[in-house]
Amino acid sequence: MCEGKGVRGFMLDHDITNILLGLVAWVLPLPTFAQASDSAYCAELGELAVRYAGNPGANGETKPDLAIIDAIDNCNKGNTAKGIKVLEQKLRNNGFTLPRRTAPA
């Protein structure tokens, strides 16, 4: 027999469990929002890099170089950190101010 715990001790344990479950449920979606934000930012950088930071083509259009293609591929595969790093550098090297990175809604 557990003395001193009774109904009140059970309620305290139950309350702590509910609080912890609530915190976990609130925190778990945060990485998903960050990944969505990184993915959107990576896609935006990729579009800008293809349009403005590639090599000049024969018809006056810009063609992405292999580093840009590889960075976009990394973004598409979910390796946004690696893709963003390359794309940001390519755009900066071509004199571009990077677009504003939006926080998750």
What single-letter DSSP state applies at residue 87?
H
**Domain residue extents for the chain:** 30-93
To 5 degrees, how large is the angle CA 101–CA 32–CA 104? 30
Q: Alpha-carbon distance 20 to 18, whole Å? A: 5
3-state SS, residue 79: coil
Is there a contact between 37 and 81 (Cβ–Cβ < 8 Å)? no
To 5 degrees, how large is the angle CA 67–CA 72–CA 78? 125
Per residue in 7-45, pLDDT (tens digit) is 554 444 556 555 545 544 444 444 444 456 899 999 999
| Torsional sign, CA 83, 84, 89, 95 | positive
Per residue in 47-102, pLDDT (tens digit) is 999 988 888 877 877 788 999 999 999 999 999 999 999 999 999 999 999 998 87
